[in-house]
Amino acid sequence: MRSMHWLGIVVVCGSLFAAEARAQPPGPKPGPELEHLKSMVGVWNATVKVGGSESKGRMTYHMGLGGLWLESQFEGEFGGMKFSGHGFDTYDPAKKKYVGVWVDSMETSPFVMEGDCNKDSHTMYGEGPGPDGKPTKYKFVTEIKDKNHMVFKLYSVDKDGKDQEGMTIDYERLFESSGGVRPRRLK
């Protein structure tokens, strides 16, 4: 008898939850603001320049999470050590800004940023861990040179608001892909 009582409660709660889920408006849909981010989808070879040294890597971009987020995955080396990082970028209609987060194998705190994008550049500002481990203000600039070339520059912003260039990454597209379509190698 007791198990029938619990079964009845589970059925009623499940029905209420299902009705509530049906009553919710549909989730957000990818808008035209994401077109710039979609143009980055593919696999890119990377040449990283930091403090006079140079290393190689590979960045893979794809649209994920219902087409709302540009997901990035970087694999390479810094200072002779393996390095990997992941990023997520999207457009936040409430803020009317692009927002992003970056995490990597060299830090335990995320870089959180927001800014503006257009067909030629992507400029974000945010905070993340500095060389001393303390929160530092940063500027992240991605300049689209053409369909298959882009340059990323990372600046720290000092207390006087001046940019101090810290890193440059030159990207050359290796493969192009969109939405689950098998990538095609570029010539």
**pLDDT, tens digit, 9 for 90 and up, residues 149-182:** 999 999 998 888 888 889 999 999 988 764 444 4
Q: How many CB atoms lie within 10 A of CB 100?
A: 24
- Residue listed under structure tokens 């503006």: 116
Instruction: Indicate the number of domains in the chain.
Output: 1
> Residue 51 falls within a domain, yes or no?
yes
Q: What is the pTM of this model?
A: 0.76
> Residue 91 falls within a domain, yes or no?
yes
| pLDDT tens by residue, 123-145 | 999 988 887 878 889 999 999 99
Cα separations in angstroms, 112 against 13, 15, 54: 39, 39, 26
Give the range of the structural domain holding residue 149, as residue numbers without chain letter. Answer: 32-179
CATH of the domain at 80: 2.40.128.20
Tokens describing residue 119: 């067909």
Q: How many CB atoms lie within 10 A of CB 15?
A: 10
At residue 114, the 3 state secondary structure works out as strand
> Residue 24 falls within a domain, yes or no?
no
Alpha carbons 84 and 152: distance in angstroms, whole number: 16
